[in-house]
Structure 1
Amino acid sequence: MKYKLILTAMMAGSFFMAKAQEKAKPEDTEIWEPVPKVVTPGEHLGDAPSDAIILFDGKNLDEWVQNSDGSPAKWDVADGILTVNKNYGNIETKKKFTNYQLHIEWREPDGLEGTGQGRGNSGIFLASIGKGDAGYELQVLDPYNNKTYVNGMAGSLYKQAIPLANPGRKNGEWQVYDVIWTAPVFNTDGSLKSAAYATVFFNGVLVENHFELKGPTLYIGKPEYKAHGPSPIKLQAHGDKSKPLSFRNIWVREL
């Protein structure tokens, strides 16, 4: 008897739901506002859209400073290309960011020597939270036939996330990173409210899929969060002895 009552109730519920659906209109589930802003895409794939902040357009380093002391950035600019100058250390953006979409292109030089981490090493710190190599690093390294630990290869979130694939091109060819960065959020007492996340496309191939970082990336030790606010984007002048690599076409969209 109990099961008959349950079945009857279920059938009655289904009947009333069906009747409600019969009365429903398409307009009931239409949303008209707020209307998304119009963004004009770049003319070619990889070109900056209309709402992007241009960080490097091939002309100058007006948007960058030295990470060590905040003085004007001193890397080399020639023929529309920015090349690492290891004599001056890391550079970072003047502007600080929270959540954003980043496009950046990089190239290892022809005739690159060295092996593993000593072969074309650099990094893109998605949030620079101090001097030196402090922050959250997306690794830049020769990706082509260059054996190294996989959580430190090109496309990795250094020492935390192994890339899902290796779509790297040969030395002398331009590589492309497209990144979605979600900054960590902290409570007023400094404790972590929500972690940082990164999604990375490497030459158009998804290599990090909304990965949750455990804190800033470290060379030694386990990561842990310490409260910070909006942060610059930093490019690394790594201390290896290989030829310096280059960057071009760097832009960001705040989200």
Structure 2
Amino acid sequence: MRIHYILLAAICLIAGQPFQATPSFAAEPAAEGAKDNVAPKGFRALFNGKDLAGWNERGKPPVNWTVQEGMLVFSGKGGDLFTDEKFSNYVLLVDWKVEKNGNSGVYLRGGNPQVEINDADSPTGNIWVGTTGGLYPDLPPVVRAAKPAGEWNHFEIIVENGVITVLTNGVKTVDGFKKDWKDRTSGSVGFQNHGTPLWFKNMYIKTSE
């Protein structure tokens, strides 16, 4: 091994290049990420980044939810937002952010449970059903995985035969919760609000009916 390094050093010296005694595994610079609101393969966009076609604010045309620079933005006043279309079993991808103490949630099948978003929950307190990444009002998350207020977060929400799994920023926070849906077999995807400004983008769904 020593002879190997000596030979490498000599070659580098001749070539005028610096020598590294340990191999470098640095990756090549990543290519630019996918454009916002353009669905990845196998998914379709619920939000086109241009208008609120396909959405309603509690059954009426949205007033307090607007599109700003490709983002779905809530003013902090008004009603919850829902898709016109209803879904049963699916994988849902959502990017979101809130301001300090911001509170929201992603409704599944038209209402609760919702995947909780709650920046007001103290990071030093006990994890409960109001902790981000859990299912309100049914189940606390396994672990805290949300980023600080003002940063973008990512949910991957899976509803399969009524069983719910949630990944928050790539960390599994709900692991196969068997929800008793009664006779609710489908419903809209929705965004709940608690009177604070909200931002969403990159909302994609893949159904498995």
Q: TM-score, normalised by structure 2?
A: 0.74
Look up the equivalent residue of 2:72 and give its one-letter code: L
Aligned to 1:187: none
Task: Kindly indicate which of the two structures has a greater share of residues assigned to helix.
Answer: 1
Q: Counterpart of 2:169 in structure 1: which amino acid? A: N
Deviation track 1:143-202 (CA, whole Å, cap 9, x = no partner) reads 67374661211011113212111121111110000011135xxxxxxxxxxxx3111110
- Secondary structure in structure 2 of the residue aligned to 1:83: strand
Shift of 1:250: 0.5
CA distance in structure 2 between the partners assigned to 1:144 and 1:174 by the alignment: 19
Note the alpha carbon deviations across 1:20-74, whole angstroms, 9 max, x for none: xxxxxxxxxxxxxxxxxxxxxxx7499622332211132111121122xx22222
2:117 maps to which residue? 140
| Matched residue count | 173
Distance 1:148 1:247 in 2: 27
Give the equivalent residue in structure 1 for 2:27.
none
CA distance in 2, matches of 1:44, 1:144: 33
Task: State the match for 1:6 in structure 2.
Answer: none
Q: In the alignment, what sits opposite 1:213?
A: 179
- Sequence identity (%): 29
Other-structure match for 1:59: 50
Higher strand share: 2
Within 5 A, what are the aligned runs for 1:237-248? Answer: 237-239=193-195, 243-248=196-201
Q: 1:91 aligns with which of 65, 81, 88?
A: 81
Structure 1 residue aligned with 2:39, among 38, 42, 48? 48
Q: State the 1:87 CA deviation.
A: 3.0
Provide the TM-score with structure 1 as the length reference: 0.62
Kindly indicate whether the alpha-carbon contact (under 8 Å) linking 1:144 and 1:169 is maintained by their aligned counterparts in 2: no
Question: Gaps spanning 5+ residues in structure 1: where?
Answer: 1-42, 113-118, 129-133, 184-195, 216-224
Could you tell me which of 193, 214, 230 is aligned with 2:186?
230
The Cα of 1:85 is off from its aligned counterpart by 3.0
Give, in angstroms, the shift of residue 212 of structure 1.
1.1
CA distance in 2, matches of 1:168, 1:124: 14
Q: Are residue 176 (structure 1) and residue 154 (structure 2) matched?
A: yes
